[in-house]
């Protein structure tokens, strides 16, 4: 029987029923050990949890996976790598989970990935965006779902290169995600626009931005354009001070992730219009996959989904597709099965690349606008992740053999 086509139909009221090889399957549930920064980054991780809870409910309602129920054992790492590693050990040794999943912050994701390598257990990373996860520190046992820092930068550079601005500044949180995003954006922009220069850089500690001082330093450099990589409360504080001090007036702003509902909702009527952003225009997408997912999510949670909701739902879809293809949960068999496996998400069909274990999930790019006193995305388009990933020859130079 061909199992590779029996993947999840993301967002539908009933996912594809994977009731296969029942007699040969163990009777107990398939257990996923999920780790995330629920108390540290609730704006993203709580909708994310809703997303995977919806997906698990849909899978089990459709008969489970290989005749077995799907169960997620979830733990909070509080944004601390050392806690994530300790929890990963507890999930494997005490809860007897079949694989590890989750992660939000890049440094936490790298810590879980290293633990997975040392213990030869599968880790499917949902949110951590650092390229090192699948390139410089990539390995057999780690797969990553979301578009990486390289991919986010490449998506934005396509439009940023068309701006007339030559003098740029950047602001980013001083850890792996922030520094990696700035590095790739600068490098990719320089390839298209060798006349561009970055004249100032601000790297505030994550969650501890002195927004007034940061804005003053950027303003002093007299830039024509700004690259912003802050998110969460740091973004809100930065925008508030920037609006107050006129930093954004007459300047182009390119901003990673800011178009995601998690962050636009927090900005509210302070959302600066006209920023070039990546995100999720949940209030205006009309394709079948998105609308089915939104309807199912609203029916269960009585609210609109966010980007985190998409990531949580797609994470389960990706894991289930691999388990079906592998005919079970044996780690080595799963690691052989996942490369090249396709699965459905609210953003359409996605594939796990064999070369680096990066999924081809993409994201939306557009501009910010105010509508009825709240932030939204306009003039958007979806960018397939496969179109902004480097070729195999480049990856081979970055990824260990």
Residues 6+ positions from 32 with CB-CB distance below 8 Å: 70, 71, 72, 73, 97, 98, 99, 100, 101, 316, 319
Residue 19's SS3 state is: coil
Task: Enter the DSSP assignment of 359.
Answer: B
Rounded Cα distance between 308 and 313, Å, is 9
Instruction: Tell me the H-state helices in 221-284.
Output: 232-245, 261-267
Pairing relationship of beta strands 348-351 and 342-345 according to DSSP bridges: antiparallel
CA torsion angle for 88, 92, 98, 103 (degrees, to 10)? 0
Residue with token string 């590890």: 100
Domains assigned to the chain: 22-148+286-362 (3.40.50.2300), 150-284+364-390 (3.40.50.2300)
Rounded to 5 degrees, φ, ψ at 76 are -100, 125
Rounded Cα distance between 144 and 127, Å, is 8
CA dihedral over 374, 51, 360, 119, signed as positive or negative:
positive
Paired with 376 in beta bridges are: 369
List per-residue pLDDT tens for the chain, 401 residues long: 233 333 333 333 334 333 333 333 467 999 999 999 999 999 999 999 999 999 999 999 999 999 999 999 999 999 999 999 999 999 999 999 999 999 999 999 999 999 999 999 999 999 999 999 999 999 999 999 999 999 999 999 999 999 999 999 999 999 999 999 999 999 999 999 999 999 999 999 999 999 999 999 999 999 999 999 999 999 999 999 999 999 999 999 999 999 999 999 999 999 999 999 999 999 999 999 999 999 999 999 999 999 999 999 999 999 999 999 999 999 999 999 999 999 999 999 999 999 999 999 999 999 999 999 999 999 999 999 999 999 999 999 999 86
Task: Say what the pLDDT of residue 400 is.
Answer: 85
What distance lies between CA 159 and its chain's CA centroid? 21
Q: Which helix (H) or strand (E) holds 113?
A: helix 106-119
Other beta carbons within 10 angstroms of residue 217's beta carbon come to 15
Rounded to 5 degrees, φ, ψ at 35 are -125, 130
Closest to 149 (Cα-Cα) out of 36, 257, 261, 260 = 257
Residues in the chain: 401
- Counting other chains too, the contacts that 188-197 makes at CB distance below 8 Å and 24 or more residues apart are 188/153, 188/154, 188/157, 189/157, 189/160, 189/161, 192/157, 192/161, 193/161, 193/166, 195/166, 196/165, 196/166, 196/168, 197/166, 197/167, 197/168
Cα angle value 26/29/63 (rounded, 5°): 90
* 175 contacts 106 by C-beta, under 8 angstroms: yes
Residue with token string 């069909």: 349
Q: In what order do the strands lie in the sheet with 374-383?
A: 197-202, 167-171, 225-228, 252-259, 276-279, 363-371, 374-383
Residue 99's SS3 state is: strand
């Amino acid at each position: 029987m061909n199992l590779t086509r029996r993947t999840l139909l993301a967002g539908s009221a009933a996912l594809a029923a994977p009731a296969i090889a029942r007699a040969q399957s163990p009777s107990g549930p398939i257990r996923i050990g999920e780790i995330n920064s629920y108390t540290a980054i609730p704006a993203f991780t709580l909708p994310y949890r809703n997303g995977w809870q919806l997906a698990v409910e849909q899978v089990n309602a459709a008969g489970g996976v290989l005749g077995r129920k799907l169960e997620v054992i979830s733990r909070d790492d509080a944004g601390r790598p050392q806690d994530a590693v300790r929890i990963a050990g507890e999930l494997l040794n005490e809860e007897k989970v079949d694989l590890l999943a989750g992660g939000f912050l890049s440094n936490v994701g790298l810590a879980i990935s290293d633990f997975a390598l040392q213990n030869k257990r599968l880790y499917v990373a949902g949110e951590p965006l650092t390229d090192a996860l699948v390139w410089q520190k990539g390995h057999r046992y780690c797969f990553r779902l979301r578009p990486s820092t390289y991919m986010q930068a490449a998506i934005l550079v396509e439009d940023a290169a068309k701006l007339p601005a030559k003098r740029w500044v950047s602001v980013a949180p001083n850890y792996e995600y922030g520094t990696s995003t700035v590095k790739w954006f600068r490098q990719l922009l320089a390839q298209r626009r060798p006349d561009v220069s970055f004249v100032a850089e601000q790297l505030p500690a994550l969650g501890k931005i002195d927004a007034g001082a940061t804005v003053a330093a950027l303003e002093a450099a007299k830039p024509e354009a700004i690259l912003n990589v802050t998110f969460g409360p740091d973004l809100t504080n930065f925008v508030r001070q920037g609006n107050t001090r006129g930093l954004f007036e007459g300047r182009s702003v390119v901003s990673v992730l800011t178009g995601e509902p998690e962050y636009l909702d927090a900005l509210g009527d302070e959302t600066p219009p006209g920023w070039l952003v990546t995100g999720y225009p949940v209030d205006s997408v009309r394709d079948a996959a998105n609308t089915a997912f939104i309807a199912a999510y609203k029916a269960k949670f009585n609210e609109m989904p966010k980007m985190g909701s998409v990531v949580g739902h797609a994470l389960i879809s990706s894991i289930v597709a691999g388990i079906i293809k592998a005919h079970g949960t044996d780690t080595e068999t799963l690691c052989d099965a996942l490369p090249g496996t396709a699965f459905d998400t609210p953003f359409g069909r996605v594939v796990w690349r064999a070369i680096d274990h990066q999924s081809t999930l993409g994201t939306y790019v557009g501009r910010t606008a105010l509508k009825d006193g709240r932030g939204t995305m306009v003039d958007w388009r979806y960018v397939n992740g496969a179109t902004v990933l480097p070729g195999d020859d480049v990856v081979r130079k970055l990824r260990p053999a």
